[in-house]
Structures are given as structure tokens and as C-alpha cells.
Amino acid sequence: MTFSDWLTAARVHFPSLNERNSRPASPADVGYNCIAWAAEDSDRWWWPDAQEQYYWPTAVPRTETVEAFVMAFEDLGYIERTDASVELGMQKIAVFVGDQGKPTHAARQLPDGWWASKLGQQIDIEHELSAIQGAAYGHVAFVLGRVAVVSTGI
């Protein structure tokens, strides 16, 4: 399947998505989800489910609320409320909420201002932030930032 074919299927859920505002990043993998991907963890599926079957930071309430998601990312050092602009030396994540105010998705900002997203059990893409807003994921509820972790290469 080409990315163009994939986009045709994806547009059922994300009508704004197209080849100008998105690009493929890595193949489908059921091993992790968008929250994990935003947290740079590709080994676990993160979710605060009541059944306690999925990973969630132990110090954070296991509730599907904006507050719990803020705390989960604060746990990773994302402590500053900010906007979606590119700021030198700053890493950012954006959390989406649906119609009922519950978190649905998270994306991580890339150096070029686009965002990295894992779409459920589907592929990872890089995209403009607005490209995946809509009925499926809702809208961006908040953006958090932290000082960029710079690799020394050692």
C-alpha cells in the first residue's frame, strides 16, 4: 500500500489529512500508542485504564482526565504550559481531547515544527498539528514544553 492509498483510508477519520500536511514515518506496530510515542517509548502501550492492564506512571492517578495526562507528562519534565510554536531549545507535546473532554491523542513536536504521531494501532506519521484535528481526535487541549534534552554523542 502506498502512502497515497493509506491516506485515502485515513481520510475517513481525518478529513484534513493529505500529502501536503503529512508524511509517513514508520510502519504499523501494535506495541505502543500515541501517548507512548509522545513520551519516546516504543515498547509499551500507555493508558490509564481502570482494568490496570496498560502502562501508566505509578505516581499519576489512573483516570482519563486532562489533569492526569498533564501529570503524566510533568513526570517526564514537561512542566511549562506553552503554545505550538517552534522555540529553540524547547521540546513540546500536544494533547488532544474529544467532545466529552477526555484525552484522545498526543503528538510530539519535531525540530522543523511538524509533529510526530502514532495513530492508534496504525502507522506513525509526521504532520502539521491541525491535520489530525476533527471528529476522531477532537482538538488540542494543551501544549506542554520542557528544555530540550541534548545528546552529547558520548
Out of 68, 102, 110, 134, the only residue in the binding site for other proteins (CB under 8 A) is: 102
- By CB under 8 A, is residue 99 in contact with other proteins? no
Q: Can you tell me which of 121, 130, 139, 147 binds other proteins, judged by CB under 8 A? A: 121
Regarding 30 and contact with other proteins (CB under 8 A), the answer is yes
- Min CB(104)–other proteins separation in Å: 6
Which of 15, 24, 31, 113 contacts other proteins by CB under 8 A? 31
Minimum separation from the CB atom of position 89 to other proteins (A): 29
Query: Minimum Å distance from CB 148 to other proteins?
Result: 25
CB 112 within 8 A of CB 100: no
The minimum distance between CB 140 and other proteins, in angstroms, equals 15
Q: Which of 35, 36, 27 is nearest to 6 (CA)?
A: 27
- Give the length of the chain: 154
Contact between 109 and other proteins per CB under 8 A: no
Residue listed under C-alpha cell 513526570: 75
Half-sphere exposure of 112 (CA within 13 A, CB side): 7
Distance CA 9, CA 119 (A): 13
47 touches other proteins (CB under 8 A): yes
CA dist., res. 60 & res. 46, Å (int): 12
Lookup: cell for 104 = 484522545
